[in-house]
Amino acid sequence: MKRFHVHLHVDDLARSIAFYNRLFDARPARQEADYAKWMLDDPPVNFAISTRGSQAGIDHLGIQTDDPEELAAMKARAESADMALLDEGETTCCYARSEKHWVTDPQGIAWEHFHTLANIPVFNESAQTAGEGSACCTPKAPVTRGKPLAIGVKTTGTTGSGCC
């Protein structure tokens, strides 16, 4: 099964958690000081919010797979469509270790395709060990197949960052 993924940056985590608890009639499956995630079954969605972004709003969209074969099929489709693709392989972000890759749509909206391998106790292991205070674990915009891959959602002329 695949699960739709939405990640929002919010200004007030406690207020947003209270709102989404009422909206979804459910408590977060994971809650940290800067992050909350609901794993909803109806509709099947991984809905995450965090305070780590530069401005409130949609950070990125994605599809979470239940198994590595589904992820590999999604990657093969993206490659066969000649989409700019950034393969991160195994990485950590949003309190999870995942296998993931990114594509962007024609409007510049980042799509994360990932398979979660395990939960971890920190938001991003590399930022913790490097002492960085990065907003999230979005990779820098690389060039693949001669095309730039802009990660993040364009909002009022800027590109946001995103993960998980």
Mean pLDDT, rounded, of the chain: 80
**pLDDT value of residue 127:** 56
**Residue 143 pLDDT more than 70?**
no
In the chain, where the domains are located: 2-159
User: 106 is written with which tokens?
Assistant: 């024609």
Q: How far apart are CA 93 and CA 68, in angstroms?
A: 18
- Average confidence (pLDDT) over 22-30: 94
- Whole-model pTM: value is 0.74
Q: Is 30 exposed, middle or buried (0-12, 13-18, 19+ CB in 10 A)?
A: middle
CA 113 to chain centre: 8
- Average confidence (pLDDT) over 143-159: 39
Q: Please give the share of the chain, as a percent, with pLDDT higher than 90.
A: 51
Q: Domain 2-159: which topology?
A: 2,3-Dihydroxybiphenyl 1,2-Dioxygenase; domain 1 (3.10.180)
- Average confidence (pLDDT) over 1-28: 93
Instruction: Work out whether the CA dihedral 18, 20, 26, 30 comes out positive or negative.
Output: negative
Between 152 and 66, whose confidence is greater?
66
Beta bridge partners of 48: 7, 37
**pLDDT value of residue 139:** 52
Confidence class for position 78, pLDDT limits 50, 70, 90: confident
**Residue 110 pLDDT more than 90?**
no
Confidence class for position 17, pLDDT limits 50, 70, 90: very high
